[in-house]
Amino acid sequence: MSAAETQCVATLLLVDDEENILNSLRRILRSEPYALLTCNDGETALQLMEQQPVDLVISDARMPGMDGASLLAQVQQRWPSCLRILLTGYADLTTTVKAINEGHIYRYISKPWDDNELRLIIRQALAFQHSERERLRLEALTREQNQRLQELNVTLEQRVRDRTAELEQTADMLDLAYAELRKSYVTATEVFANLVGQRLNKDRQTNTQVIALAKAFAEFQQLDESASHDLIMAAALYNIGKLTWDDHLLGRPSDLLYKEERQRYRQYPVIGESLLMTLEPVQDAGLLIRHHQERWDGQGFPDRLAGTAIPLGSRILKLAVDFIELQRGMILERRLNRDEALLLIKKYAGRLYDPELCTHFIELCTSLAPDLVLADASIIALDTRRLEPGMQLARNLHAENGMLLLNEGKPLTRGLIDKLIAFEASEGGHYTLFVRKPQAPATADDGEPQ
């Protein structure tokens, strides 16, 4: 250990009954960075050590009263970390052995000593002491860390289980929040679609029927959730590009349009897509809107795509739009009835429409009631006064002017039913709601509700 390393940390106690020996030791160590304490007997040395810490004791072997070996033995018992060096001027083997065996001394030095050797021995002793203290400190730290590690290991599995459960709960909450947000977005889109429809005469408002047909076909084809969502959004907003038309153009069937009017008509899918491009949740739906007037044979618009190059959702949307608009007189001057519309669609399979999808579409439409509700035994049509709390809307409910009143999936309460009856009376209208029957409670073998 260097002098810099021992500065301010090493306190030496020099014990000798001869004052000249103590003075000699002081002189030798005067230039060393040690704090020096001196005394002339063993009893005084022990009293000093009780009052302040000492790092190293250098004691003469022969002193009146308590000899050096006995002193160092007591120091070893009471302050084992304090280093001990014995000075002896006699060839007294018995005293030296006693000091070694009982005092566990670090070294013994014979008188007269070599000054440089004495200084070197003290430095080596303090360096050894420093390394030993550091070893003990690190061992204590290791034991403490091992104990903490054992405690952590004991609780780690439970903490992992608790954290995993917490993360799963958070994920479930986020999934629910996302589902609610997505449902709200769809509802808002349908409200906006109905606002678009307000520019059309009541008999030309098609969004509600196109949405219902798109939903039914998505379920019939078992489309995945994402594809179904995009298709329904496109069905709600497919005619948004017609907002730029004047009333004259809105009122004419597409087959009676000429020149500039036909050019404007051919641009409405592109305008519809461009209006939705800044809304990220409906960008994919915007692409379906852009291509829903493409034809299977490649003669459609705006990009003359053909066959399977046309997005699947666009091919489905064209079938739904044409089926409804043919019955509303929006394509041909004459309105077609339901069967005539299906026959015309079948006729143009392979030219205007995907032939395979066309077959499935016709199959679906023949199983639908005239108002597009699937023949589902759990769905019933009721007027407002036959509604019961606990029922759930199976279809959106629209007012006579086409505005959305309640969205699909809304649970009915007594208060909500009473409001519907009052609204119906104030409007002088009559509403039929398609609802799902409440599920009967499960019963045990003895017939009691579980």
Report yes or no on 181 lying in a domain. Answer: no
Together in a domain, 205 and 108: no
Query: CB of 242 within 8 A of CB of 250?
Result: yes
Report yes or no on 206 lying in a domain. Answer: yes
- Cβ atoms < 10 Å from Cβ of 181: 11
379 by Cβ neighbours in 10 Å (0-12 / 13-18 / 19+) ranks as middle
Residue that is last in its domain, among 134, 153, 168? 134
Together in a domain, 237 and 295: yes
The total domain count for the chain is: 3
Residue that is last in its domain, among 106, 134, 162? 134
The number of angstroms, rounded, from the C-alpha of 329 to the middle of its chain's C-alpha atoms is 51
Together in a domain, 309 and 228: yes
Report yes or no on 58 lying in a domain. Answer: yes
State the Cα–Cα distance between residues 305 and 261, nearest whole angstrom.
Answer: 22
Report yes or no on 279 lying in a domain. Answer: yes
CATH number, domain of 91, equals 3.40.50.2300
Q: Which long-range contacts (CB under 8 A, 24 or more apart) does 215-218 make?
A: 216/364, 216/368, 216/372, 216/374, 217/316, 217/319, 217/320, 217/360, 217/361, 217/364, 218/316
Which positions ≥6 away from 63 have C-beta within 8 Å?
15, 16, 17, 40, 41, 42, 71
Together in a domain, 108 and 92: yes
**Phi, psi for 405 (deg, rounded to 5):** -100, -50
- pTM value is 0.48
State the Cα–Cα distance between residues 86 and 99, nearest whole angstrom.
Answer: 7
Together in a domain, 351 and 231: yes
Q: Indicate the pairing of strand 35-39 with strand 11-15.
A: parallel
Question: What pLDDT sits at residue 369?
Answer: 53
Together in a domain, 443 and 332: no
Report yes or no on 142 lying in a domain. Answer: no
Q: Output the CA angle 229-234-238, nearest 5 degrees.
A: 165
Residue that is last in its domain, among 373, 400, 432? 373
Together in a domain, 348 and 221: yes
- Residue range(s) defining the domain that contains residue 267: 199-373
Together in a domain, 284 and 347: yes
SS3 151: helix
CATH number, domain of 294, equals 1.10.3210.10
Together in a domain, 224 and 293: yes
Q: Output the CA angle 395-401-405, nearest 5 degrees.
A: 40
- Cβ atoms < 10 Å from Cβ of 119: 16
DSSP for residue 339: H
Report yes or no on 168 lying in a domain. Answer: no
Report yes or no on 185 lying in a domain. Answer: no
Side by side, the strands of the sheet bearing 107-110 are 35-39, 11-15, 56-60, 83-88, 107-110
pLDDT in tens, the chain (450 residues): 444 444 446 899 999 999 999 999 999 998 888 999 999 999 999 999 999 999 999 998 888 889 888 899 899 899 998 999 988 876 566 656 666 766 578 888 888 888 998 999 899 989 888 888 899 899 989 989 888 888 777 777 777 788 788 888 877 777 776 666 566 666 656 666 666 666 666 667 788 889 889 999 998 889 998 899 899 889 988 988 887 788 778 878 888 888 888 898 999 999 988 888 877 778 899 999 999 999 999 999 999 999 999 999 999 999 999 999 999 888 998 888 888 888 899 999 999 999 999 999 988 887 765 554 444 556 777 888 888 898 888 877 877 666 778 887 889 999 998 988 888 888 777 777 888 876 655 444 433 322
Report yes or no on 151 lying in a domain. Answer: no
CA 62 to each of CA 6, 90, 320, 326: distance values in angstroms, whole numbers, following the listed order: 29, 9, 118, 127
Together in a domain, 120 and 250: no
Together in a domain, 251 and 285: yes
- Cβ atoms < 10 Å from Cβ of 260: 9
Which positions ≥6 away from 389 have C-beta within 8 Å?
412, 413, 414, 417
Together in a domain, 331 and 243: yes
